[in-house]
Each structure stands twice: as C-alpha cells, then as structure tokens.
Chain A
Amino acid sequence: MSDASPKNGFNVVGTSPIRPDGLDKVTGRAQFADDFHLPNMLHGKILRSPHAHARIVSIDTSAAEALPGVRAVVTGADFPAVRHELLNLGTAGVLNIREMSENCMAKDKVLYDGHAVAAVAADNPHDAELAMNLIKVEYELLPPVMNVRAAMADDAPVVHENFHPGGFIAPTEKYLPNASRVQLGNGDPEQGFAEADLVLEREYTAETIHQGYIESHVTTVTWDSNDYVTVWTATQGQFALRDHLADIIQVPISNINVVPLEIGGGFGGKERLYIDPVAAFLSKKSQCPVKIAMRRDEVFRATGPSSGTFIKLKFGVKRDGTLTAAHLHMAYEAGAYAGGPLFLGIMSATSRYNIPNIHIDGFDVIVNKPTMRPYRAPGAPQALFAVEQMIDELAHELGMDPIDFRMQNLMRTGDRLVPGFPLAPIDTEKMMETVKAHPHYQAPLEGANRGRGLAYSIWFNIGEISSARMQVNPDGSVTLATASPDLSGTRISLAMQAAEALGIDVEQVSPTVSDTQSIGFSLPSVGSRTTYSTGAIVCEVAQEILKQMCERAALLWETDAADVSVEHGVFSNKTEPGQSITFNELAARMFETGGPISHHRTGHTQSFIPGTAVHLVDVEVDPDTGKVDILRYTIFQDVGKAVHPDYVEGQMQGAAVQGIGMALNEEYFYDDEGRLKNASLLDYRLPTSLDVPMLETVVLETPNPAHPFGVRGCGEISIAPPPAAIANAIHDAVGVRLNSMPMAPHKVCAAVNAAKPAKAA
C-alpha cells in the first residue's frame, strides 16, 4: 500500500506504536475533566427550564441563597450585555456573541427544554442541587415550534422577534420569521429535467440526534481578585473557548488561561462553551474555584444535538444512466439560534456526482430545541440518507449496477463543486473499482429477507490555522506541543509525523496538548483537521529544527550549513566524506553550538481536502418485528496516508457505528409541549457491542498533495454513509424504501405491511 505514498520508505508513518497516553488510560490515572479537584472547590448546579418556549416573568433565588452551604447564585442578570453582538469570522461565518451568552444563561426568554435559567454554587453537589430546586421561576408560556415544517408554516409561532441569519462559507438570508435561506446552483434545471427520460421525486426526514459522548461536560473555573480566570475542562478547542468566554464574561483575552484536560469524546459537541461562563460568574461571586459537572439528562437537553431534517429531492436521468438535473430542497434544524450545519449538508449532498443542471434551496430553521452543534461530518448523514437512496432507486429503475451507475456520473479531480471551486486531487474511480472487485461485493447473498446496500460519500477536511512547538533536549528527546486536543489518539499520530520528519524513533518524541498561555492560536480539533492540518504544521516545524541542527553541525565542522545534509537522523558533511554525526550526538552538543534548539510555528493549511468512503452492508430484516440485523459490514475509505493504521481503522469503525445508531434507533422524542422525553442513556439508546458485528476495513491511500506525507483527515466521513447504505440494503431485502430516519422497527414493520397487499395483488 505504501506504493501509493508520495515518498516511499517511511520509517514511522504506517506503523502502529502504542500511544504515550495509553498507560494512564488503562490504569485509571488519566486526568479527565471531572477528575480535577482544587482545594476549597465549590460545586455548581444549573436550574433549567422545563418549558420549550416561555418568557421569564420573575426569578426568586432568596430561598436558595438562605440554604446553609450555598456560596453564590447567578441568573441571566449577572451576565453583562455584550459589547458587540456579531463577530465576523471570515469564511467561517458570523458568530453571535449575544446568542452564545444567552444560550449559556437565558435572559428574557427560554427557547428550549433545558435552557439554563439560574445556577447555584455550594460546598457539595447535593446541597447545590437542593438549593437549585428552591429557586422559583415564573414563566409565561409561549407555543413551541418543534420541527422544520412546523417552523416554516404560515402561522408558525415566532421564536425570535429578530434574528441574524447564520452563515458558513455561503451566507444565508433571512427568509421567514423562523428561517433563513441559501440558494445555490448551476446550469438550467428546467432544461435538464426536460432532457431526462426518468424523473423521480422523493421526500426524506430525519430526527434530531445527539453526539452521545460518554463523558458529560465538566469544567472547573477560578476567577481571582485580579480578574485572572483559569479554566480546566475537556474541550475540542481551548482557544475558541477562551475567546468566546472573554466576550461573554468581559475580561481581556490575555487574562484567561484554558487548560485542556483529557477529553472523553466530543464528536463536534465539545467545541462550544456552555457551563464555563456560569462557573466563572459563580467563582467571581464566591471567590472560590467552582466545578460544574452536567448530569446526563442535562447533556441531552441542553448540548449538542444534531439537526432533524426535511429533504425533498427531484432527480432526472437519461436512460443510459446520465444524470441531467436535480433539485434539492434541504431544511435543517438550527435549534434555538440560527446557524445549523445546512451548508455542510449541501456540500455533502452535491459533492460526488456531476449533475450539469442543479438547484439547491437550503433552509436554516429555528426551532425550540437546543442549538444544533456539529456532529462528526455535520449534516452529511442526513443528506446522504436522501441522495444515496435516490441514486440507488434510480439505478434500480434503470436496471443498472449501483456502482456502474455511480461511475457513470462520478465527480473526479478538478470537476466543479456546487460553490464553484474544483474538487482537489483524489482518485474517486479507484474507490469504486476497489469496492466492485472486493469479495464482499462479489459474494452471493442468500436467505430470505436478506439484502445488500451501499452508499458513497465525499467529505472535506478543514485546514486553516494550527500551532506546534518543538524542543530538542540534550539527551536527544524531543518535546512536541500542539494546541490540538487529542480526542482519539492524535498525540501519537502527531508524534509519529514529527519522528518521521526528524528521522528519529517515535519513542523519542513526547507529545502534549498545551494550554492557551503556552502555545499559539489554533482552530479546534474539528473537521478532520488534527492529523492532517496540525500534522502538516508539525512537519514544517521539524524542517526548521533540522535546518537549525544543520547549522550546528556546520559550526562543529567549520563549514557552511549548505554543506550539511541530513537523512534518517544522521547529519553528514557533503564536503568531507565520512564526517557525520547522529541526531542524538548533535543534540548533546547543543550548548557548545549556541544553546537550546527549539521552534514554534502558527501556520495555515489548505481547506476542502476531500476524502472518500463507501460502506457496503448486508442486513437481515425480520418482517414480523421490523428489526434489522447487520450481518456483514465493510468500510472502504481513502485516507491519503494512514499514519497509524490501527487508529485509522478505529476512526472508520467508530464513525460507522455512530452512523448505524443514527440509522436504526437514535432519536430525540419530544412531547407536544416540547419536553424531551428520552433524556437518558436508557431511553436514548446508543448501539452496544451486541448490535454490531466486526467491521471490515479497506484503506485506500491516494496521497493528499497538501500534506508532506500525503495524509488526509479520516475522522468524520465514515459516519455519513451508514443510514443510506442500510436503507438500500433494507430495500434489497424486503423491497420497501424507508424515507424516515431512524429506521426503527415500527417503521420497518409498517412499511413491510403496507407493501403486502400490493405484492399479493
């Protein structure tokens, strides 16, 4: 496989060493956010609205304050009015600071079941909870809007008197009282549909889901009398947290230090702050450190989740299998505030096949649910659930093999993406050929009610800003610090890239994740960017370190740095054959040659690096109960270059099982009043080890020219194909199309029953 790499003969990249943080994690010593304690630390609890939509008439905290052991109480009145409402993030869109603050603590209105209204800090969590329950809040109830279609209806209750539309790359415009809109397109869809021999129109829905990390949100904050604020928490982005916190609590950014502790899962849901400003104000009032640990039900009610959607598709195709036109109506829940994953959903829906005439009508829709946050390939599973089923149905109608049909319309390197820029280099054809030739695709599938399905995805890595610092120590060891929190083993994948670039053993490199006072700014660990983008910056820093070390060798040899070459950790004098010195020997002599050797860099990398994945699944459907069992599952993914192949496979498998959960059973249940009815891990059921088989992985390596080793980010994409692949397999098994996600047993059963009379006739 390493033939496909830009540079053959890797020493470290492509091996699977044991991660340096692993020992602490298997012995219970690793310090996660809730394992952190300080002397005199208080415990905070947050009172949350039981109503989905209501005006706050009054809050009476007197009984809570009178309870022994209570040290501070805060409400929305303690949160200052923001100095500037909108923060322009360039292509990353606009950030509404006021809304972010009010999402942490409501001021006038509560916008979802679980919206914070007050908080208490007490000597222990039990007293804090008792006090919290003594707070009296009077509400004036307002009618809630609970899904995109209701929110876009003519007589829908209005959630915000005023709102700024969200935006990400393509700005959206305010369109309805609860919705903003983005329209994109190419060609002439009317003409395209006229040219088509077959036109299908279908509707698909998906329910709201949660990222489901096993570690709740936990933070500990101190606010000292000099207005210095320190935060110890689990976050995907310590710098985003710092900057947003500074805006909300209004202290200078430089006064805040955010210390990222071990993080027990994030999947996109831990890149935004919720409880940190609350703990900060409680700490300021009490002059003690304050820890807030969310209960599991708070996590479900007030964090995450990921959008429910309504997607309407119209696709036109010629008899020979050429797509001529498409119209996509895509409505994504934004939750309580504008700015959901709509644009990424659009990118995911449209970036695989060349459709000459296409129109997308996208809607970012405000509903009385928590503010939608990214969830691993945000918006993509919902988009693919629609489009990849449509593609399967078209292939079926035309009597074409589903891979041949995809091949015929396949987007290749350089083809135009919907926003107008070309697809960066990747081998999409090889992906299709690999799937087609694979034994799983070739194997006959026998037995009643069994079926096979597949789905194909392209997903993009974010690049942008990362930081790394490297320090060579006199014993030859190397300290590597980055600003990228490690969600899943990226310390080892970054250490491996450093070792590869320096030509030393990976055991010599000690990787850490730094706090915001100790390293330059970085974007969070999101968008499949850590191993790719931070990795590329690590390689640049390693090059600079080698350059400095060549200069040191030149000093020793009294020659020019240009005369020193380095390979595999050995420096040689090109003008004096035989004269060489190893990395370790040279490190030992650093103080004779000018002192410490170190380098820090904050750099940029390219965005919209594509990755591809196909998932192939065999299912068995029980027509009596509607239960869908997964018999065999193969994940094909192009990762550019697998730095640590075991963890790459782990990313593929973990993402796939999240997609499987989404496909078959995960969903938020709200009652008519907008109360979340399944805010527990019993009732919001994540897949268990019994629900899935072993998951076969096939790793393709088409080098990414934007990374020195060809690496592509691999963390997100494999969550996207499972719902569509399973839907297509269900159709193959029992002949019905499920257009509503999750494909829970009752829905499968109903679809099978509905199809029966027609079959009998």
Chain B
Amino acid sequence: MSNKSLVTATINGEDKEFLCEPRQSLLEVLRDVLYLTGTKEGCNDGNCGACSVIVDGVLLDSCCMLAVEAEGSSIETIEGLATGTELHPLQRAFLEETGLQCGICTPGFLMAAKALLDKTPKPDEQQVRHWLAGNLCRCTGYDKLVRSVLKAVEA
C-alpha cells in the first residue's frame, strides 16, 4: 500500500480519485481499479489500439501511459461516448453498418474515430483509413468499419 499514489483526474466528465502504483498503466487502472472494462487490451505494447482513450483531447494508447501521469487530466473512455441512453452517431453507425464482428476492437476504433471527428468533422475515406491505421481489427477487413465512420460523418 505504501507505494501507492493518489491520483485525481476527470473521467468521462466526472471527477475521480484513485490509488495506484507507479508501475500500473492507465489501461490497468481503468480496467482493474476503476472497473471501466470497456477499454480493451490487445497487446499491452502500443501496437493494436484496442486500449485507445482520449486524454486532454489527444488520442493515445492507455497501455503506454502510466496512471500516475494522468494527474489532473481529463480522460474520455468508451463508457462516456454515449450521452445517457443517446448513442453517439459513431456508435449508431457501427451498429447499422455492421462495423463490428467480434467487437473486441470496437471500443478502440470508436474512440479513435471520435478523436478524428473532433478535429476533422468531414474526413474522406483516405483520411479515415490513415487515422485508423493505428488500430487493428482482425475480423472485418476494415471495409464496413471504414464505411461506419463515413456514415457517421454524413449523420
């Protein structure tokens, strides 16, 4: 217990305090301390994007950030993407366009796509493909996934 730090951060708009060890990644704390298990682990070394979250407006792999570094930051995770029961247009589009199969990569892709749309509200196909290249999906072959993002752009 002695080596734990108290970290204060805003998570999905709510102020949160949590205790964590210096060796714990933000991903581990989100999942195993705060039980926000919507953020997934695919590799734990920055190569799959399943753990994508947005920290102070920047998309990053939460497995590559230490939780203690989150002090004072504002973190957005998949659990905060919908507003109450109102789905984000990206979430609706993923459902309607079958942008997921197994769904393990889905939270990461949704957060990555949200970060894109936050900055570039009307991306074209190439911009979407380029931006999402940091996230791996082994099921869809990306066609319907990219179409889902483009559909959300239209919405």
Say yes or no: B104 contacts A689, CB within 8 Å. no
- Cα(A415)–Cα(B113), bound, Å: 50
For A22, the closest partner residue in chain B by CB is B95
Distance from B114 Cβ to chain A, minimum over Cβ atoms (Å): 12
For A697, the closest partner residue in chain B by CB is B143
Distance from A180 Cβ to chain B, minimum over Cβ atoms (Å): 32
Across-interface contacts of A688 in B (CB, < 8 A): 132-136, 142
**Cβ of B151 < 8 Å from any Cβ of A?**
no
Across-interface contacts of B39 in A (CB, < 8 A): 28
Binary B-proximity of A192-221 (CB < 8 A = 1, otherwise 0): 000000000000000000011111100000
Distance from A728 Cβ to chain B, minimum over Cβ atoms (Å): 20
Q: Which of B43, B81, B103, B132 contacts A681 (CB 8 A)?
A: B43
Say yes or no: B141 contacts A695, CB within 8 Å. yes
Say yes or no: B98 contacts A489, CB within 8 Å. yes
Stretch from A63-71, A259-267, A401-409, A590-598 contacting the other chain:
A259-267
Distance from B148 Cβ to chain A, minimum over Cβ atoms (Å): 10
User: Which chain B residues in 29-50 approach chain A with CB under 8 Å?
Assistant: 31-32, 35-48, 50
**Cβ of B139 < 8 Å from any Cβ of A?**
yes
Across-interface contacts of A501 in B (CB, < 8 A): none
For B131, the closest partner residue in chain A by CB is A689
Q: Which residues of A approach B to under 8 Å, CB–CB?
A: 16, 18-19, 21-23, 25-32, 34-35, 37, 126, 211-216, 262-267, 293, 295-296, 487-489, 646-647, 649-650, 653-658, 680-682, 686-690, 692, 694-695
- Cα(A264)–Cα(B139), bound, Å: 9
Given A682-B47, A688-B133: A25 touches B100 (CB 8 Å cut-off) = yes
Rank and list the top 8 A-B pairs by shortest CB-CB distance, nearest first.
A28-B38, A264-B104, A657-B141, A25-B103, A653-B141, A28-B78, A681-B47, A35-B37
Distance from A107 Cβ to chain B, minimum over Cβ atoms (Å): 30
Given A212-B138, A489-B101, A649-B144: A28 touches B37 (CB 8 Å cut-off) = yes
Distance from A157 Cβ to chain B, minimum over Cβ atoms (Å): 34
Interface of B is mostly: loop
Say yes or no: B35 contacts A26, CB within 8 Å. no
Across-interface contacts of A686 in B (CB, < 8 A): 136, 138
Say yes or no: B146 contacts A647, CB within 8 Å. no
Apart from A488-B139, A646-B98: 7 A-B pairs, beta carbons within 8 A: A22-B100, A28-B77, A126-B23, A216-B42, A647-B98, A647-B101, A688-B142
Binary A-proximity of B107-147 (CB < 8 A = 1, otherwise 0): 10010000000000000010011101111111111111111
Across-interface contacts of A266 in B (CB, < 8 A): 102
Across-interface contacts of B23 in A (CB, < 8 A): 126
**Cβ of B87 < 8 Å from any Cβ of A?**
yes
Point out which of A22, A126, A487 has the most chain B C-beta atoms below 10 A from its C-beta: A22
Say yes or no: B43 contacts A296, CB within 8 Å. yes
- Cα(A488)–Cα(B132), bound, Å: 21
Across-interface contacts of B46 in A (CB, < 8 A): 682
